[in-house]
Structure formats: C-alpha cells, structure tokens
Structure 1
Amino acid sequence: MMDVVVIGAGPAGLMAALRAADLGARTALVTRAEFGGMAANDGPVPVRTLAHAARLMREALQLEQYGIRVGEPVLDYARLLSRVRDVVRDVRAHSSLRSQIDSLGVTVREHAGVVRFVDEHTVESESGMRVQAEKVIICTGGVSRRLPIPGFELTHTHSDAWGLKSVPPSMLVVGAGATGVQVASIFNAFGARIQLFQAGPRILPSEDEDVSAAVAIAFRASGIEVHENFGAIQSFEKTPNGVRMNFSKDGARATAEAALAVVAVGWVADTAGLDLGKAGVVADQRGFVKVDEYQRTSKSHVFAAGDVTGRLMLVPQAMQEGVVAGTNAVLGQQATVGDPTTPIGSFTDPEYAQAGLTEARAREAHDVLTVAVHFDSTTRTIIDGRTFGFCKLIVDREKRTILGCHVVGERAVEITQMAAIAIAAGMRVDELAGVPLSFPTYTGMLARAAASAARQLNLEVHWQASCHF
C-alpha cells in the first residue's frame, strides 16, 4: 500500500505529489493522459503559443511604420499547429517538476485512462491498474460546461478550436469570459470573422468595469462583433456552410451564423467518472469537490486541489493548493492557502490583467483613491506604437497601500506581476513610487501611477526621475 496516491498530473497534482514525496511519503501519481495536465497540453502553454503567433502577425503589419519593407504576412496554420505541438513537447521534456518527481521516487503512471474509486482507499484505472493508499489527493481538474439545449452537439469547445486543421472563415464565440475572449482575439488576428456573444451586460464580467469597457472598445475597433446582453440561446442547427444559433431577447427572435461555433460558458469539475460516492466524498451540483481550508474533503483522508474544487481556477492557485494538500496529507492539518494576491491576465489583443481588488469590490470596505496612467502618455508605449490602454491603481486612502491594479494594453500581464508583489508586500504608494525602475519600460508606468497617487495623498516621494516620463 502507498502512503499517498495523487489522481491527476496537472499543476495541482504535480505539486501535491512533489510535496508528499519530499516529506518522505511513498507516493503514486496517476493521470488519465499526459504529464502536465490541461495547463501544459490544452491550456496556457498551447494558448500562449497561438497568442504569440497572433502577436507576430500584428507586429508584422507594423513593420512598415518603422521603415522595414516586407510582404504581407500569410499564416500557415498547419505549420503553426506543428510549432504548438513542438512547444508542448519541449515544455513537458524540460519540466523541472518531472525530474524532481522522478528523483524522489514517485511512481508515475501516465495514459492510465479514467480513474475511479473502488473503495475509500483504492483507485482503479481503465487500463486495469489498481492502487491502494492511506491518503488520496484528487486533482482531476475541470472540463467545459455543456448546455442542455437542442443542437448543442454541433458546437465546439476551446479545445476543439486549438485543434482545427485550418482557420475557419467565420466563428461564433459564445461566452466572453477569459476563455472566450482569448479564442475570439486569436482567431480574429488569424483572419476569421468573429461574433462574440455575452449573456450578461458586459464582457469579462469578473474584471474591473473599466477593463471590460476598454477591451470591448478595442475588440470592436479590430472588427470583432461584440454582442453583450444578447438574450437566451434557443437552439443550434446545422446549415450548408456551418452552424446557426437561434436566440431570443424580450420575445424577439434572432439568429447568427458562422462556419463554426465555440461555446465557452463556464467550467465544471472533471469528476463524472471518479465514483466519488464509493469514497464517501461529497461534491456540489456542478461536481466540484467540497474542501475545507486544509484542502480536506468530507472524508478526512481524501484531499482535493486545483480546478476540481471550483475555487479560483488558475495555475498558480492550483499549485499552491497542491502544496497544501500534499503537506496536510502527510503531516496533518498544518498548512492553508490563506488569501494570496493572485495576478490574473490574458494574452488577448489588447492584453488585460489584474492584481488585487476591483474598484467596485474595494469600495465595499475601503475609502479609495483611483489613479490611471494612459498608454498614450508614456515613453515606451509611444516608442513601440502601442498607445491604447491604461494602468489603474486602487489605493486605500487611510493606509496608503495598493488594493488593486488593473491594466489594459501591451505587456499588461507582465506589469501586474510587479503590482502583485507590491500588494503582497503591503507597500505604500510612495514606497513603490520611490523605486528607481529602468527607463523606458512598460513597468515604469506603475511607478508613475504610484507617484500620482502619492502626490494626491500629500506623500513625499524621494525618487521622482522615472515618474516624469
């Protein structure tokens, strides 16, 4: 019998197995498919590779502005997909986690198929492998949510979109959260005509309202048809050239057609085949496994981490939860995730990102000051010809600390990484403004925003040079 068996080899599962083995537990790691899970094989790694190709397409169109004459870029989508496969393979091959896990003697079983509980301490895979363990950690991740409407089988998920053999001439993207806007942005850059539908009043509903508005403006300017508050879907049906979506709002019926429809309306736990009942593990109506602050499920010897818990479904959060689950599975109730400052962003055009609270959330409990530096007023963005966007800070007037940072525009994801560090460290805005950052850089606008806030709060900033550009 093993001490710990971890089900799933995504970010949460890898960290859980690594931590448990590092603490001396005899550990097995069982995964249905590839090492690395969705993040490496179907999520951030392939998506970021496609987004990079989209960026290169945009930058190629900018070359003539800088006196560089070349022909108009032409996308070879088959070659791009080959590059995506190469990147995914290289990421797996060079993963430091794999070498660490192997060095600690973790028993790794890839391509095991669906894994299910046989009893409270035993799991069995489709391939016939059976593992018994004192402790079990569930890290099976999530899958795209399906809608119970006629014709839904004619639609595709984001995973299908990444695996297309060619770029479709047109695409319906239903759902304008993080996944939907990435699909829309990438394929818009590749030349598809995109119609983006959001049932709620604004795209990116979990982002700051200013971010949602700015991204919607940019999307429309780039040719994407953005339909917010569009109503309710009645059905999908096949057409000679693709698919038709029938929907209605306030009694009025409407349709939209395209060669392909991608639906990204949420994420549910990938627990359908686990037979959780045989282990006595409780899940909610969407299949998400209920856990406490120690990542324990309803059974004290079974833990869960990552997307399967339905919490903040991001790679860094999954890794943190995996470490906590692995620690507590071996040592008992010692570690918790707490309330970390997790930066969130997306590689769309334009990029958007956040760290900390939105303005609306901040105003619920704080007296706040907001300041924004616009991209058309900073040196580096003017040099690069990337002048759309802003960097917005939300500051606690009393404590002078940063509650949130929201960025739309080039390198937004990178800018918020530094903001997250400042928030986690509890830095005052005058302290952040006093850091002499390199010039000219995108991150420099963060110090400029902090300096603006410090001045409005009558705080002295001892280093001003980078704040004047």
Structure 2
Amino acid sequence: MSFDYDLFVIGGGSGGVRAARVAASGGASVGLAEESRYGGTCVIRGCVPKKLMVYASEYPSMVEDGRAYGWDISENGFDWDVFSGKLNAELDRLEGIYRKLLANSGVESFDQRATVADAHTVLLADGTKKTAKHILVATGGWPTVPEFPGSDLAITSNEIFHLEKLPESILIVGGGYIASEFAGIMNGLGVKTTQFYRGAQILRGFDEEARNTVADGMVEAGIDLQVETNVTAMVKDGDKIRVTDTKGNETLFDVVMYATGRAPNSKGLGLEELGVELGAKGEVKVDAYSQTKVPSIYAIGDVTDRVNLTPVAIREGMAFVETVFNGNPTSPDHDLIPTAIFTQPEMGTVGLSEEDAAKQEPIEVYATSFKPMQQSFAGRAAKVMMKLVVSKATRKVLGCHIVAPGAGEMIQLAGIAVKMGATKEDFDRTVAVHPTMTEELVTMKTPVRTT
C-alpha cells in the first residue's frame, strides 16, 4: 500500500519538529500540521519567554548590588511596553527559525488542526485527508483551571506573557515550579505578589531542605507566600477581582493567575475511537518505544505525561526516529534528568531527594548553607544551599541539590557526574575551583546526617 508520507506529525512543538526534521533529513517523506504557532509551549508560551522575564525581573537587585559595589546607578523603573514589544519580536524570530528548519529539511507543513481519521490517515481542518505509514502525536499540554465560582476570571501561564499592562497586584495560585517561578518574576518586576498553595510547602516532590530554602528566599524577597490556603470564590469588583480564600479572607487583586496543573492535549484528536489508550488525565499511553496500542501511531512529549520537559520531548523524538526509521530500537532514557527551577532563588536538582533516597536505602547526607560572597558583600542575606545525597553501600551520589544564583547552569555540569555514577570519593578527589560557590560540592568531608 502506498502512502502520501512515510511520517505525519501532529504538533509543531520542540519534540514534533525535531522528529520531523531528523526523519526527513534521513530521506523519509514527512508532513506536519500545527494549528497554532510553531515552537510549541517552550518557545511560544513557556521556557523561553519565561526565562527572558526572569532576566528582566532580576535587574532591580543587580542595580542594588551595583550601588553597594560603588557604582552610581540610577533606576527609573520598568517599562512593560518596551520589554513586551521586544519579547514578542524575539518569539516571532524563533518561530521563523522553526519554520525555516522544517522547510530546509524537506518537511511539508500545514498551518491547521489535524485529527486522526484511521490508523494511517490524518484529517486536516480544511477537509483534506493525508495518509502516512506512521503517525506521530506530539500535541503537548495545556494549562487547566479548576471550576469554582468566578474561575473564568483567572488567567494562566498562556496569558501572562500578553498582559496589556503590568498589574499593581497579582495572586498566583499553585505551588509547582510554574507558579513559584512567576511569583518571583512578578515580584521582581515590582508587582505586589501573593502566592496561594493548598499544601504545606511549595515545590512538592523536590528535596525538602531545598524547597524550604527556596520558599524562605521568596518570602525574604517580599512575596506574600500563603501555604495551606486556596481560593473558594472570585468575583469582579470594578476593575479588580475580589478573592475569597479558605481562611475566610477577602482580598482585591488586579490579576489572578492559576498554575495548578496542565492536561495533555489529546482531546478531540480521534485517538480513543481508534483504540489508542488514554489515561485518567487524557495522557496518551505508550510503551518504552513511544508506540501506542495502534502499531502505526506513536506519541511523544507532554501529551504522554511522562517527563514534561522540552529536552525530554526532543530526546523522545530522536529515539522514535532511531526506532522507526533507522532500525535501531531505542527507548528514551528518563533516568537521572537534571532539572532547573528558575525561582528566585534558583534551584537545580538531579537524582533522588533526601526523602526518597532514605526510603530506598541507608544514606549519608552532605550539605552546607552559606551567604555567597557577591551578595554578602552587597549586604543581601540570600542563602545558598549545596547538598549531596550518598549511598552508604555503593558510595554513589544518588542526588545533588543546589539553591543558588546560576543553579541551573551548575546542575547541568553536576548532572553529568551523577549520570556517570560518580561516587562521593570522585567528588572529593576533584580539586576545588576557588573562590566559587560550587567548590562546596567537592569540599564537604563530613556528613550532616546519616539514615
């Protein structure tokens, strides 16, 4: 049977674009459909614009520090319009690069929604049908807002980048990394920022000591962090939103942003009707090689709800091409993935938290907390934390956790050592680079705790 394409990809995000490009570069005929903007969550409404906003929000403290170092620096305030204009121009530029990469690879792109009609047929929004030997679903995820009275007044991380003006006050609801990152961003930009989280501490699932350090730093920076608190109702009050919380308080905010979860973008694609299994959240169920129950249909990235990170989606896309087009069955490696959380203070982590490691086996914990030289000289009290979780039996470093300026950059390099199976003694044998913050990772000689 002949097909229009060897591969048809639904979704023009990082994972789908990479899979399409690599397959096409290897000689496959490839089609791709994207109903929104190319680049997906990461480039258009996620990591890239968020990181640029993080940079923007860090300048006030840099100005303060500069004065402490003897620089005569004046601060005339933040111009949202100037920043927003440059941000949108940069996203347009990046989207253009994605489109060009696809075209240069020989991928045929369709700027419209696509659904799956049968195991080898894709139906485009204009009614056109395209057949393919293999179909790859890479439609990503989408932020969700729980239903409650007034929930329609909330925005999500999708809309935060497109505010017409910077609000004077904002409530951010959620305790994950997206909520916590945006609390730091808005606070840094001069917005009066409140964060509600229904649990006992933000960043659930991460190392407890690390998340406590982050939360303390956020509060110290001026964020009104209210844990064990949730919204019960919201109502419009003039040009503000009146929020009632679970403690009975009523507070007015200019903007309320919800970051309480994301759902896989699988609704209405026609997958279930074909026998593709979906999980409780709508995630596409796949095997170790990203294959669904329908042999010709595969899925990668956030729509599978495995590890929802851009570099992971890209690696899943590469593994898919290796498996299907290069005759080399490759399972994406989801073990020991380094992660950065761009909160303020920033956090980097790889491997097991102290809590999870202790459940698994006897461990030693090496940790230190101190004020970094640069900020300490400037009179700021932000604390840095470095931590290694070590197996007593094998001496392997099971987890590394850093809370510090530039923690994301640090954890990328520490992640290589942990992924290679480095032992505590390997760290000890490495000569310290002085004076740096990360030298502490190789100078901690005595465990602070053993379990």
Same-fold call, TM cutoff 0.5:
yes
1:304 deviates by 0.4
Find 1:236's aligned residue among 234, 237, 251: 234
Q: Equivalent residues in 2 for 1:189-208 (5 A)? A: 189-208=188-207
Counterpart in the other structure of 1:28: 31
Counterpart in the other structure of 1:464: none
Equivalent residue letter for 1:420: G
1:421 deviates by 0.5
Superposition TM-score, scaled by structure 2 size: 0.92
1:308 deviates by 0.3
3-state SS, counterpart of residue 364 of structure 1:
helix
Q: Equivalent residues in 2 for 1:130-145 (5 A)? A: 130-145=129-144
Equivalent residue letter for 2:167: P
What is the alpha-carbon distance in structure 1 between the residues aligned to residue 354 and residue 449 of structure 2?
18
1:384 deviates by 7.4
What is the alpha-carbon distance in structure 1 between the residues aligned to residue 83 and residue 441 of structure 2?
35
Equivalent residue letter for 1:408: V
Equivalent residue letter for 1:89: D
278-287 vs 175-184, greater mean Cα deviation: 278-287
Supply the RMSD in Å over aligned alpha carbons.
Answer: 2.3
Q: Once the two structures are superposed, what CA deviation does each residue of 1:396-454 show, in whole Å capped at 9, x if it has no partner?
A: 122111111111121111111112101111111222233345433343333234x556x
Equivalent residue letter for 1:405: C
1:319 deviates by 1.2
* Structure 1 portions without partners, runs of 5+: 458-469
Superposition TM-score, scaled by structure 1 size: 0.89
Equivalent residue letter for 2:149: P
Equivalent residue letter for 1:68: W
Equivalent residue letter for 2:436: T
Find 2:11's aligned residue among 8, 13, 34: 8
Counterpart in the other structure of 1:465: none
What is the alpha-carbon distance in structure 1 between the residues aligned to residue 218 and residue 449 of structure 2?
33
Residue 390 (1) aligns with residue 390 (2): no
Counterpart in the other structure of 1:72: 75
Residue 439 (1) aligns with residue 437 (2): no
3-state SS, counterpart of residue 158 of structure 1:
coil
Counterpart in the other structure of 2:257: 262
3-state SS, counterpart of residue 211 of structure 1:
helix
Q: 1:121 to 1:438 in 2, by over 3 A?
A: same
Equivalent residue letter for 2:286: V
Counterpart in the other structure of 1:466: none
What is the alpha-carbon distance in structure 2 between the residues aligned to residue 20 and residue 27 of structure 1?
7
Find 1:39's aligned residue among 25, 42, 60: 42
Q: Once the two structures are superposed, what CA deviation does each residue of 1:110-167 show, in whole Å capped at 9, x if it has no partner?
A: x32x221222221123244432101111000000012121211111001211111211
Q: 1:123 to 1:446 in 2, by over 3 A?
A: same
What is the alpha-carbon distance in structure 2 between the residues aligned to residue 363 and residue 291 of structure 1?
31
* Structure 2 portions without partners, runs of 5+: none
**Count of aligned positions:** 446
Fraction of identical pairs, as percent: 27
What is the alpha-carbon distance in structure 1 between the residues aligned to residue 434 and residue 143 of structure 2?
43
Residue 156 (1) aligns with residue 155 (2): yes
Counterpart in the other structure of 1:341: 336
| Kept in 1: contact 2:134–2:296 (CA 8 A) | yes
What is the alpha-carbon distance in structure 2 between the residues aligned to residue 298 and residue 73 of structure 1?
59
| Kept in 2: contact 1:291–1:298 (CA 8 A) | yes
What is the alpha-carbon distance in structure 2 between the residues aligned to residue 142 and residue 9 of structure 1?
12
What is the alpha-carbon distance in structure 1 between the residues aligned to residue 370 and residue 151 of structure 2?
42
Counterpart in the other structure of 1:105: 106
